[in-house]
Amino acid sequence: MKRVVLALGLIGIINCCAMRTFAADGWASVSDTSGTAYNLTGGAAGATVTPTTAAQFYTYATSSTPYVIQVSGTINVSAYSNHRINVKSNKTIVGIGTSPTIYGGLNISGVSNIIISRLNINFDANEGSEDPSTDGITIQSGAHHIWINHCSIYNSPDGLIDIGGASDYVTISWCKFYYETGIYNTAHHFTNLIGSDDGDTGDRGKLHITFHHNWWSSLCVERMPRVRFGQVHIYNNYYSCSSNDYCIRPGVEAQLLVENNYFYIVDEPIDDKDTDAMVESSGNYTYHCTNVHSDVGTDDVFTPPYSYGLISAVYVRTIVMAGAGADGTEPTPPAVPTGLTAEANETFVVLDWNDNTESNLKGYNVYRFTDADSNYTRLTIYPITTSTYTDSSVAYGTTYYYAVTSLNTYYSESDYSSEVTAIPRIYGDFEINHTVDMNDVGYLNDLWLIDDCDETVDVDINGDCLVNFLEFEAMAENWMTQ
């Protein structure tokens, strides 16, 4: 049975003097398309250092030795070639303190096992006239297993994060992308290019990339992302870049899985695709958007080989605005509801569960499904504030499976509760034909006093795993009822 976990979970870094365990997700967490785990550790095997000058930062970042490099304050690398530092394998670069910043760019070329988190990466608003091709972060030349998490990247003269050159297994999560007014090269506010040219056929079978919980904000114009060749998973992101050209563009041989994103007053959430591109789109929310192409998104694309959490698109805006960027704080989900029960009669099912005790509780969502091979469907349009729910949209004799979740005022949602089942029908109608009669007696007699839950699940109306006189009494009460 398929399940999509709803909880957000805390990403493994906090912006202070201490650090928690890293936990990469998305494509960066696997080593192949079958889902074999990859232990992305960054520089955890080495010493933790805190450079105070660009020269010290350069020494640590370009060393073949693993390091956890803490950035405090601003490190200005614009004096180096192409305004950037070439980062070697097995590095963690993490911001600490107030406004940790890399002024310039980072080049990740032909290396692996790198984590970049809690950083501001930027150029001055008018920087770049001498070298307008500089990215905030460039990933190229077969680099693989890179995790960029909780960064604010802005004002780079070229891309903010660009990935190409047969690079692979990259996750970009909880980042904020934007430009400031007056930046040089204003015609090129293009944020994320995946695959740089239609002729780069070496990218085939590469460019497995995940974007989740990112925020494309002011003055982003295009490439959010623009993809060639890759298998790119884009979920739970927020787009508020009004006056843009387009957001997502599916280019040559791209496969895009676009799920539960929030597009807020933007043009072309998903652009027209190349003829050999494929897009599967579901659960996305568009608010006052223009040129929404309803014919894009009906393809069957890859299935991610990793587990991931989907939240409903209507909640994405609030959660991502609070959590994305170098200083973002991801809301902690509330506790999972407990004590869920389901009672059915002929025409409806009544659910009841224990009250949650969080002071910032927003309410509850109720979920249901009928097909063991499908995901839950949310029944509540908005969170309900009481710990009971009546489902009247039921069919007689159908088995329904229910779970509930809780939400806080940030619309952060818990995991599913324990699952319960219910079958709307007259008590004692084992044939499910709207009539309690001799056929039901015969059906029940075959299982008289059998206490095997699997065998008696369809006739054990009171759910005690024992077919006994209670069921006969029920039929007597409803004899010939229809």
In a domain, 10, yes or no: no
Query: Which is higher by pLDDT, 432 or 385?
Result: 385
- 152 in the same domain as 111: yes
pLDDT tens digits for 99-113?
999 999 999 999 999
Q: How far apart are CA 363 and CA 469, in angstroms?
A: 41
The CATH number for 347's domain is 2.60.40.10
- 232 in the same domain as 152: yes
- 227 in the same domain as 356: no
**Is the per-residue pLDDT at 181 higher than 90?**
no
End-to-end CA distance of the chain: 35
- 405 in the same domain as 286: no
Q: What is the DSSP letter of 61?
A: H
**Is the per-residue pLDDT at 182 higher than 80?**
no
Q: What is the DSSP letter of 387?
A: S
In a domain, 34, yes or no: yes
In a domain, 141, yes or no: yes
Q: How many domains does the chain have?
A: 3
In a domain, 433, yes or no: no
- Give the pLDDT score at 12: 30
Which residue numbers are catalytic?
Answer: 223
- 444 in the same domain as 396: no
Where a domain ends, among 323, 349, 364? Answer: 323
Confidence of residue 391 (pLDDT cuts 50, 70, 90): very high
- 260 in the same domain as 354: no
Query: Which is higher by pLDDT, 189 or 388?
Result: 388
Angle, helices 438-445/469-477, rounded to nearest 10 degrees: 170
| 234: β partners | 211, 258
Domain hosting 463: range is 438-477
- What average pLDDT does this structure show over 445-467? 79
pLDDT tens digits for 204-228?
999 999 999 999 999 999 999 999 9
Q: How far apart are CA 128 and CA 131, in angstroms?
A: 5
Confidence of residue 350 (pLDDT cuts 50, 70, 90): very high
Q: What share of the chain is helix, strand, coil (3-state, %, to 5)?
A: 10, 30, 55
| Mean pLDDT of the residues in the chain | 89
pLDDT tens digits for 3-12?
333 333 322 3
In a domain, 153, yes or no: yes
Task: Mean pLDDT check: name the lowest of 45-49, 235-239, 413-417.
Answer: 413-417
Confidence of residue 17 (pLDDT cuts 50, 70, 90): very low
